[in-house]
Structures are given as C-alpha cells and as structure tokens.
Amino acid sequence: MRISGRTRLCAVIGDPIEHSLSPCIHNAAFRHLGLDYVYVAFRVRIDELGEAISGMRALGIRGLNVTMPHKIRVIDYLDRLDENARNVGAVNTILNEDGILIGYDTDGVGALNSIRTVTEDLEGKKLVVLGAGGASRAISFTLASEVGELVILNRTVSRARELAERINRATERCVRWGELSRQTLKRELEDADILINATSVGMHPNSNETPVDKELLRADLTVFDLVYNPLETRLLREARNVGAKTIDGLTMLVHQGAVSFKIWTGIEPPVDLMMKAAREELKKRSE
C-alpha cells in the first residue's frame, strides 16, 4: 500500500479499540480495488469525543466507524443524520462530505444482508430478537418492514416494550415484545423462522453461556448470533448440531462494514475478500 499526500483516511473510533478487526477488513478491500485509501483505529475517550469529531472535520478524514461507547453521544456533533440513524437514535458510520458530517447506522442493513447469505425470502417470516440494546434497535428497525412478524424479548421488559412501540410509531408495523425467559422463548420459538441473539450472552470469557436452551432449537430455524468472540458461540454450536442454519457475528461485522465502505467510496465492496481477511486475522490472533 503506497501512502501519499493524496491518500484518503478512514478510521474507527471507540474505547477500547485495540481489538478491532475493521482495519484489516477495510485495508484488504482498499488494496484489492487499488483505492488510494488507508484505514486506522483511534482510541477516543468519552471526554475527547467532541475534539475527535472536530479533528475529523479539520483534517478532512473521509469516513469514520463509531463503536462503543460513542454511538449515541456522537450524534450531538454531526450536521445531518440519514433516516435510519434518526429512527434508531445511534450512529456507527460518519461520512465527511466537504466538511458536512453525515451520520448513518449500517447495523440494520448489515444484519439484513447477513441473513440473505442463507435465505433470500423473508416475506411472511417470524423473527425473534433477543435484547433491546443498540444493536437490537438498529436491526429491529430495519427488519420490521422485511418480515411478517417481529418479536423483541428482553430481560427488562420495559426496554423491549419501549423499543417495540418506537418501531410501531415509526413504521406502522405491529411489533410485539415480551420478557426474555425460558417460558416466553418456548412459546415464541415454536413457530419462529429466525432467531437473532443481540445480547452479549455467550461472549468471551463467558463462552459457556447461552441465551436459549438447546431443547428449544429446531432444524428449520435460522440462528444468528451477533457475538464473534468466540466465532462459534455455544448457541451456534448447539443450533448447528440440530441441523439449523447458522450465521456468526463476524458475518455481521463484515456486512455492516461493507455498507460503510460503499458510503465512503461509492464503490461496491468485495465482501468475500473482506470476510476472508477477517477470518484470517481472527485465526492469527488465536494462534
């Protein structure tokens, strides 16, 4: 990769950020397409966020990915939001268009494109989403208009209800909610087509945990876990063992990153190559 005075800069900001796979994913795509871009990671503490966004504008940084804990607070420093980011109330991608900073949320589209790697037809399908945090909000807003039925389950029921009602007002859909308990899961998963775990249950170092008992999984259920450390969570392993289709969190990471890539460059990203780069990097880190 040759860096010059014309090279455009993209980056990811967050705290912590050292673990991020985004630099390897995006730089592999830039090299493959011969684009004069480079992608780096910046640790930005909460009290430095405003200065960091001012720096983006002053330095002409083309694009930023935004990860925890800045996805909501960063909105205060932007000029515009796209409709999806406005609905979700969070931003994970920023485009610098000649000094105008525009916020996007690509998690929902990334999730949709991830699901389409295993099934194209979502019309009339029942989707159950576990969790009501930031990832769940983005995914639920996007998928509500794609599926026939959406149910949001969360341990704190009031958060699930608040999210469902917000989606209903914005989309005129009829999203249901409930408590994330074994009893509710048993009832809702009986006729569900897709299950998405948008909680942190099963994430390293608690990789022996699962949000769903294996007895509730079926071969005709598609199971999607946003956790990518470990790459195969207990939930995905038990789903695969009963013959279910599975989607891992790395697929989601790459697909939401691919949407960001197109926002910044206007070019269709090489998703397969980005996925390969991400998997190779994870393998190196585990050796």
Q: Which of 161, 165, 235, 175 is nearest to 199 (CA)?
A: 235
Give residue for tokens 């704190």: 156
DSSP states along 129-155: EE--SHHHHHHHHHHTTTSSEEEEEES
Question: Which one of 71, 214, 245, 276 is the catalytic residue?
Answer: 71
Largest CA distance in the chain: 60
71 is catalytic: yes
Backbone angles phi, psi at 155, to 5 degrees: -60, -40
Would you say 120 and 150 are in contact if contact means Cβ atoms under 8 Å apart? no
Using CB atoms within 10 Å of the CB of residue 205, give its burial: 0 to 12 exposed, 13 to 18 middle, 19+ buried. exposed
Bond from prior residue into 211 cis (ω within 30 degrees of 0)? no
Instruction: Give the 3-state secondary structure percentages of the chain, helix then strand then coil, rounded to 5.
Output: 45, 20, 40
Catalytic residues: 71
